[in-house]
Amino acid sequence: MCPPVHFAVEYAINPWMHPGVPVDRGLALAQWDALRRTYLGLGHRVDLLEPVPGLPDMVYAANGATVVGGVVLGARFRHGERAAEAVAHREWFHAAGFPRVVEPQFVNEGEGDLLVVDPGPGGVVLAGTGFRTDPRAHAEAAAVLGRPVVSLELVDPRYYHLDTAVAVLDAATIAWLPEAFTPASQAVLRERFPDALVADMGDAAVLGLNAVSDGRHVVLPTPATRLAAAIAERGFTPLPVDMSELLKGGGGPKCCTLEVRA
């Protein structure tokens, strides 16, 4: 995670961002810290990335890399405003002693568009494209991460990253917004996850699907109440967090969290 010390909405690269709308950085920091403490309370470890002045989106750490089995696929950002974040992430992984840190050839926005389903050897990676990640990055991710990639095409600019339209709850369960995908990609997900939880437009519109699951607990934005109830019905424990300030940049809990699968 990266504290939102320099968080601001200074440019608009997704429809949630409105430069000029005031951002309360103190509140953003408090919300971010509550998210961090939620993970600590669940017994997870949280490492911090040093925030860099001039990179107001750096709080959205999920976009900086994808890590499976200790292998780090670095990011390459679509927009120049975020390009330098990729370097900071790679440096962090080098300093932390990760032996394989790959600088990618094609644009991929890390776990924004690459969602690991089951970190074990039988797992796959769901890979989004349409707005940010280059479709050619999908084969690159498969090669680097050593697992099959399922390509999915996003169609709604509000759900510009895959992690705004799909939440991976455990190895067999996702929650998703079908309307965010092409009909062909909807068919792919229906076939692979017949028991998927379908979110409604209201829950998706508060970035309810931008959730983090450890397989038992699901951290999700507070306003996504119907989704939280549906998740609880499936036997998971929903843990709502208020991320209203970070929503102004187009992100929720998942965006602020990069999972390091050692």
Query: Residue numbers of the site for ligand ARG (CB under 6 A)?
Result: 13-14, 17, 57, 60, 62-63, 82, 112, 161, 163-164, 249-251, 255
Residues 6+ apart with CB under 8 A from 170: 213, 215, 236
Minimum CB–partner distance for residue 132 and ligand ARG (Å): 7
Nearest to ligand ARG of 10, 200 (CB atom): 10
> Is-catalytic flag, 79?
no
Minimum CB–partner distance for residue 251 and ligand ARG (Å): 4
Catalytic position from the list 2, 138, 255, 256: 255
Residue 92 has a CB neighbour count (10 Å cut-off) of 22
Nearest to ligand ARG of 190, 221 (CB atom): 221
* Residue nearest ligand ARG, CB atom distance: 255
Minimum CB–partner distance for residue 208 and ligand ARG (Å): 13
Minimum CB–partner distance for residue 239 and ligand ARG (Å): 19
Quote the CA–CA distance of 114 and 179 in Å, as a whole number.
Answer: 19
Nearest to ligand ARG of 17, 188 (CB atom): 17
C-beta contacts of 12-19 below 8 A and 24+ residues apart: 13/78, 13/79, 13/81, 13/82, 14/131, 14/157, 14/158, 14/160, 14/250, 15/157, 15/158, 15/160, 15/250, 16/158, 16/247, 16/248, 16/249, 16/250, 17/248, 17/249, 17/250, 18/248
The β-bridge relationship of strands 124-129 and 149-153 is parallel
Nearest to ligand ARG of 61, 230 (CB atom): 61
Catalytic position from the list 2, 89, 138, 161: 161
Q: Is 104 exposed, middle or buried (0-12, 13-18, 19+ CB in 10 A)?
A: buried
Nearest to ligand ARG of 19, 120 (CB atom): 19
> Is-catalytic flag, 138?
no
Contact 175, 151 (CB under 8 A): no
Minimum CB–partner distance for residue 56 and ligand ARG (Å): 8
Q: Active-site residue numbers? A: 161, 255
